[in-house]
Amino acid sequence: MKDFFILRLLDKGEYLFTKLGVNYRTLRSILNVKLIMDERRVPTVLSNDEEKEGNYFKKSLFIYALMGVFMLVFMIPSFPLFFKMSIIYGLLLFMIISSLISDFSSVLLDVNEKNILLPKPVDYKTLNMAKTIHVLIYLLTISLAISGPLIIAGTIIYGISFLGIFLVQLFSLLGFSIFTTSLLYYLILRLFDGEKLKDIINYFQIGFTLLVTLSYQFVGRAFGFIDLDIVFTPRWWTYILPPTWFSAPFVVLLDKDYSTSIIWLSILGVVVSICMLVIYLKLIAPYFDKNLAKLSDNSGKLSAKAKKRAMRKLLLSKIFLKDKNEQTFYKFTKRMIASERKFKLRLFPSLGFSVIFPLIFLFNNVGYGQSFESYLDSMKNSSTYFVLYVSLIMLISALPMISISEKYNAAWVYQVIPLNSGTPIYSGATKALVINYFSPAFMISSGLFVWVFGARILPDLLIIFFNLLLLIMFVTLVTPKDLPFSQDFKYIKDKSTKTFFYSIGFIIVSVVAHFLVRRAAFGLYIYMAISMIAIKFFWQRAFK
């Protein structure tokens, strides 16, 4: 069996593991098998790779190293060290959490491993330690791949001390990410049961990804511009941003800045990391696996409220679906999406980003010498609501996902259905996506924009929604049609890239046309009427 370098390195600490009550030989054997399996698994970062052979893990490291090269744009210029490191650690935290959720949640929440190994001479403590070290090795490897170019550039610029501080802080960041994620999973496992537990875990993964993305936006806002200089402005919320905790020691040790706020941020990084470690070892690790057993419980009934909501959606769908075959595939798509948690893990972040990113662009300048109230007043009569077109880019990126599924092998069923045309299949599936997912996400964004700009923008919002429907038809026409749920997750090919570039072109034309018709009398209403006729006329033709 292959003997990994990291395991030979781990051998040096055999005595320590034995003192902790871990069976080191068993631990090593479990880790060896896990590392071999990692080489065969396709990481999320390579999910679009068409090649089926080779070491996927090494390929993914090359992609991560390229990301590190792009991050040099923050390291090489003569920005303040605290600003540089806050941005870099913010990006690293985002990538580590994303990777932890997308690639290693299944490891943290695996119940099969326990069922297979515990009847053998393997104890809980050794199994838990193997699980934690496995995740740590994986995240450390990809973190070093990303950080490699940054470490080289930083060591050249700031000297060998930079290397030592960076590695210490990187370990702290990894520990913080794993322990925080485990703590949140543990709380969910404690509070929920049955099918609801699985849904909550799914929503937590999506919500946590969105939260990390949103919180990263605040890292840049911790700094202000004074006479073209980037200056750190301490506020209460800057003390709850983890990237600033891990960046502050660079300023203390390399820039010799001993200001109160920097010292407190440095202390917070140490204290929080130690507290998370203690909580994990004392409270979480001993009880985590016991609560994992709840994941094997498939009980759970649909609540009365959920049934009423489903009935309302069904009635709504009948208004837009006259054809019985189309209705069948509408229901089929809806149930498939509802039952596939992996699919929802891909779809829901796009829906969340479609709500968040327009707001980020809208409120991008808040806090730079202007209060929130005065900023809202200045927005009232402006045309800034055009940034809502950003949500169309996020929503349309979810359209190709309709062709992927964990159960793609069952796609043979399409071959035996007595249908003369695939139109009801494509049209029913797309309407299910639009009615149940795209429309609610767009309505949330629209509600927030109406709150900011007032009811005067309602015709514009309707036009933007019509442009979304036209965009869906356009993308369906110009890209290859794949049957719903007929492709594996790793073989979406380059459809997403093509969809993105076609969408950008369409949206630019739509924004220009929308902007121009606003100048003409009744222009918005004429545009609206033409869009409705176009949607009515071309919808079925687009899905032939």
Q: Are 318 and 414 in contact (CB under 8 A)?
A: no
Amino acid at 415: Q
Q: Which residue has the higher pLDDT, 370 or 512?
A: 512
Of 113-122, 365-374, 501-510, which gets the smallest average pLDDT?
365-374
CA pair distance 134, 461, nearest whole angstrom: 49
How much is the average pLDDT of 315-342? 80
CA pair distance 366, 378, nearest whole angstrom: 11
**CA R_g for the chain:** 26
400, burial (CB in 10 Å: exposed 0-12, middle 13-18, buried 19+): buried
What does the pLDDT read at residue 296? 59
Amino acid at 376: L
Reported pTM: 0.68
How much is the average pLDDT of 330-347? 81
How much is the average pLDDT of 323-351? 82
For the cut 70, the answer to whether the pLDDT of residue 228 exceeds it is no
What does the pLDDT read at residue 181? 78
H-helix segments, 2-55: 5-10, 14-19, 24-40
For the cut 90, the answer to whether the pLDDT of residue 467 exceeds it is yes
Residue 28: HSE in the Cβ half-sphere, 13 Å Cα cutoff: 19
Q: DSSP assignment of 464-478, as one string?
A: HHHHHHHHHHHHHHH
Q: Which tens digit of pLDDT belongs to each residue from 412-429?
A: 888 777 777 788 888 888
Q: Which residue has the higher pLDDT, 467 or 522?
A: 467
Angle among Cα 280, 284, 289 to the nearest 5 degrees reads 135
**Could you give the C-alpha distances from 135 to 100, 170, 306, 351, 427, in angstroms and in order?**
8, 15, 37, 29, 42
Amino acid at 2: K
How much is the average pLDDT of 231-247? 81
Q: Which tens digit of pLDDT belongs to each residue from 247-303?
A: 889 988 888 888 888 888 889 888 888 888 778 777 776 666 666 666 655 555 555
- Torsion angle in degrees (nearest 10) through CA of 146, 148, 152, 157: 30
Amino acid at 121: P
